[in-house]
Every structure is written in C-alpha cells, then in structure tokens.
Amino acid sequence: MAEEKSLNFIEEIVEEDLKSGKYKEIVTRFPPEPNGYLHMGHAKSICLNFGLTEKYGGYTNLRFDDTNPVKEDVEYVDSIKEDVQWLGFQWKNEYYASDYFEQLYNFAVSLIKKGLAYVDDSTAEEIASGKGTPTTPGTNSPYRDRTIEENLRLFQEMRDGKYKDGEKVLRAKIDMAAINMHMRDPLMYRIKHAHHHRTGDKWCIYPMYDFAHGQSDSIEDITHSVCTLEFVPHRELYDWFIKSLEIFPSHQYEFARLNMTYTMMSKRKLLQLVNDGVVDGWDDPRMPTISALRRRGFTPESIREFCNRIGVAKRDNLIDVGLLEFCAREHLNRITDRRMVVFDPIKVVITDFPEGKTEWMEGENNPEVETLTFRKIPFTREIYIEREDFMEDAPSKYFRMTPGKMVRLKSAYIVNCDSVEKDADGNITQVNCSLLPDSKSGGENANIKVKGTIHWVSIEHAKKAELRLYDRLFTEANLDDAPGEFKDYLNLHSLDIIPDAYIEPSLLDAKDDDHFQFIRKGYFVLDRKHSSSEKLVFNRTVTLKDSWAKELKKGE
C-alpha cells in the first residue's frame, strides 16, 4: 500500500496541467553547464526533474548548457553523465545547447528582422553604465536605432570573425527603462574567439544564457523548465523571447536551491579547493560532489531518499547535514555485512584457552535480513580489542572490559577480566581474561546477561588495512552567513588516517565499492582509488550513532 505523500508545488502544477489537458505528457530537462562536477545541489535538481517524469510519465533530457567555451570541458561532460546514471536516472536524449547554435543564430536573425534586436558597438563599461540602476532608468545606446539591414550585415560580420572579442554585441531591443533590469536590452550574443569543446573553432560568437536556455527548452518541447530561485527575474525575459520568436511556449518554474550545514555548495569555490590542493580532487571524499559521495560510500538510494525528504519549496533553507547521514545509515544498515575491525589495539590473552588452537566462530553477516548468512571468524588465545573498550578504573555505567567484570566478545565467548599488565612507565601492555565455560554463541551459558559486547580480532589471523576517517570539511554550519573568507573555516582535522587497523581475514575478499558495517564503529567502503592487492584502504562513510559518546559528553 503506497503511502499518501503530499505534493510539492511543482507536482501540483504538473497535475493541474495534466488534468486540464494542457499537456498529454510532460517533458523536463536537466541542464548542467559542463564547467565543474555535480554536487548535492544538482542531485536535488536531478531527482526533481527526473522524478517528475518518472511519476507522471513523459521523459527527461540531459542537456549541456555549453554556451561559454572558456569555462567548459569534456572532462566535466563525462563526469556529469556518469553521476546522473549512478544516481539511477536515464535521460531520453543527450543534447547540447551547442547543437542548436545554427538555429539560435537564425532565431537572432529573425529578431533583427522584426526590429527586436540590434548590434551594439559600445564597450562593456558603457553598456553597464547605460543600464542604469534598479531605481533609475537606463539610457538608450547610440547604436540602438541602426537599420535592420545594417544590423543584419554587422551580425553576419560578427559571425564571420571580422571583429575582435568585445568589439560588438547583439542586444535585444526591449526597454531601457524597464523595472526589471533583465529587460533593459539584454545581451544575446558576444564575440569570443575561443575553442569550444564540441564545435571547435566553427563559431566565434556565442549566445548568452538568456538567449540559449529558453530557446533550447522550446526546441526540445520542454513543458516544465525547472530551475532555481535566482532565475526568477529572468522569467520575464524567458517569456519575451519565446513570444517574440513565436516558438513552443515552455514555462519556467523556480524552486529554492539546497543549502546544507557545514557544506560549501558553490562550484566556483569548490574548484578553488581543488586547484589550491586543499582537497585531493573533485572526488575527494570530503567534497559534496556526487563523485566524492560515491567514493565516500554513500549509496544512490540514500541520496535519493535524502532528496525526497528535504522537499521542494521556494523558501530559503539550510538542511542539517545530519539528515543525509541519517539516510546513509538507514540504507547501509539494511544492506551491509558486519565485520570486526580493531582501530587502536590492546592485547588480550585468554589465559585458559589453549595455545596454538584456532576455533572457528560463526558470525552473522547482517542481522537485518530475513535469511541470515554467516561467515567464519577465527578465535585464538591472543586477540586484539579496542583500546577504548578497556578501562582499569571504570565508572559504573561503563559496560566494556574492566577488571573483575564479565564482557561478551561478539560472536564468541563471555570472558571475565582478571588482570592487567603494565610496562615500566605504567602503560597497559596486556589484559588477561578467562572464559566463562559454555558461553560460546549457542552454548548453555550463552544467554547469560552481560552488560557489554565488544568486538575483537585474532592476533594470529588479523590482517592490516588502512582506514580513512572523514569529518566535515568546514567548522562553520552556515558558511553563507559567516564573516570573512570561507577558507577561514576549513576543518584542519577533516581527514584522519589509521595506517594499520586490524581487520578480520574475511575482509580480504572485499571488492571495490563494497560496503560494510565495522561493528560498533561505522559504515565503510573499500576505496577504489587507493586500494591495491597489497594494501586495502577503507573510507568511513559515516559513524554509527553513538549514545555512549553522547553520555560522556554530558559529563563534561
């Protein structure tokens, strides 16, 4: 039974349009500019655009908005395609705004012929000052009243490469006194003698966003062109071009972009982090990019669930990054196999367990699935446990190993902690325990109530692996409001590498991108970039919830 979920405002519009018969099917598009990697903000847009046509029928195009050759690159095209598909969406058509350059040129010519566009020789500065301000009207350019014939000729010459960058532009002839600044004779074309990643050197004039985006939508019969709030003032111009050109009337709808706590979502600033070497590339697991989240171990399911939960509205928002972590835990808890890994070892000797003996325990892979499966875990006289799981003088609420108390070794025996050995400096070198008879899993005494259960690995069988523990990249929750530079708030401890953690041997079978829960520690994924047959590297996706840590914090 599907749960009745309320609609967001865009779904309401779509339902109305379908109900009224305005459209038989809807068409949306995801229109990235290939000038950087996709991040969580794009994921929200992707889920919205593809989600709409998944839900209501129709289809979604992937369209690269590649109208600015100096910033764009095929590297970005490739990564964008990979990320969209990885999220689980498939576009109907792969299009490029650059595929429409010829048609857009013809559109421009038709506007010139209608007397609705003109070539302007003014400099950038002159045009800027001619725009006026939001409270004072602009002034007409001295070139505004050129004849149609002259405009036609000059525009052709612009295309033919007769002019240098910046020498001339094509402008729409609207109203220099318009209240909406975007209507004050906006630029349609500028000259850029630059190599384009797809059209090469064929063009030296390139359309501006406003004269490419809406027209591309129209060419593709996009019914609902969904974008973010900063484009609201562009909508009047979007509609003006479509109306003046008398082409298919796509409509633009705007929603609030995603902001997350402790997260930088500006492509430009992310590029800065990459270029300055603050992070190790766009897919550094601390980045908010899709490729980074993938490497970090987030699943597409968890990202889509997150996008579902945050909703779509027009109000500015700042989503707690904890919600993304919640979605990751929720999914990973269901799908991951459990393994035991000791991060910071302390040696424990089971004094009454025979030397040289290996007992193979049955460990549950995942208690959350219906049909349980098991793996073999070797148990021996000498094991490692987590240093923080032993305490010599423990408070009453401490449920782990402490002298005189019993604790359960996960999937193995209950042991009693008998004594501690120290070196000359008083450092603990070894803890001695004895077994509680028949307390092995399934044994007679196995169901005895013991407060704590801890994880362990057999010293003889343990293998080594590198663990990378990530923390948030920034120390400030709301980077937009924080004074100063965003780089002032970099978290210097966002990456903590444990070069030699001790892993149970079954982990040797891990393959690229395999997810695990390291019991009591967190969710990890085998890093495809840094792992080799000699050295396994695991990235921590997210910790487990830790109510003991919370308890400790309270005491502070």
What residues are annotated to the active site?
Answer: 33, 257, 267
Indicate the residue among 289 and 531 with the shorter CB distance to RNA: 289
Indicate the residue among 189 and 531 with the shorter CB distance to RNA: 189
Indicate the residue among 243 and 314 with the shorter CB distance to RNA: 314
**8 Å CB contact between 323 and 309:** yes
**8 Å CB contact between 225 and 253:** yes
**What are 522's strand-pairing partners?**
518, 543
What is the helix (H) or strand (E) element at residue 326, kind and residue range?
helix 321-335
CB of 109 to RNA, least distance (A): 19
Can you tell me the distance from the alpha carbon of 10 to that of 427, in angstroms, rounded to the nearest whole number? 63
Phi, then psi, of 406 in degrees rounded to 5:
-100, 150
CB of 206 to RNA, least distance (A): 6
Indicate the residue among 244 and 441 with the shorter CB distance to RNA: 441
Can you tell me the distance from the alpha carbon of 230 to that of 314, in angstroms, rounded to the nearest whole number? 11
CB of 222 to RNA, least distance (A): 15
Indicate the residue among 268 and 529 with the shorter CB distance to RNA: 268
Can you tell me the distance from the alpha carbon of 343 to that of 387, in angstroms, rounded to the nearest whole number? 8
Indicate the residue among 284 and 340 with the shorter CB distance to RNA: 340
Indicate the residue among 371 and 533 with the shorter CB distance to RNA: 371
Can you tell me the distance from the alpha carbon of 269 to that of 421, in angstroms, rounded to the nearest whole number? 53
CB of 314 to RNA, least distance (A): 4
Phi, then psi, of 422 in degrees rounded to 5:
-130, 160
Neighbours of 419 (CB within 10 A): 13
Indicate the residue among 398 and 470 with the shorter CB distance to RNA: 398
Q: Kindly calculate the radius of gyration of the chain based on its CA atoms and give it in whole angstroms.
A: 31
**Strands of 495-503's sheet, edge to edge?**
337-339, 515-518, 522-526, 537-543, 463-470, 495-503, 341-342
DSSP 3-state assignment of 140?
A: coil
CB of 510 to RNA, least distance (A): 18
DSSP 3-state assignment of 280?
A: coil
Give the residue from 228, 253, 208, 236 showing the smallest Cα distance to 26.
253
CB of 450 to RNA, least distance (A): 7
Phi, then psi, of 196 in degrees rounded to 5:
-100, 140
**8 Å CB contact between 484 and 530:** no
- CA distance between the termini of the chain: 47
**Tokens found for residue 356:** 């040289």
CB of 125 to RNA, least distance (A): 8
Phi, then psi, of 510 in degrees rounded to 5:
-60, 140
**Tokens found for residue 212:** 């490419």
Can you tell me the distance from the alpha carbon of 167 to that of 424, in angstroms, rounded to the nearest whole number? 81
CB of 159 to RNA, least distance (A): 14
- Please report the beta strands in 138-289, taking only residues with DSSP state E, as ranges in sequence order: 169-172, 187-191, 205-207, 224-228, 251-255
DSSP 3-state assignment of 467?
A: strand
Indicate the residue among 178 and 495 with the shorter CB distance to RNA: 178
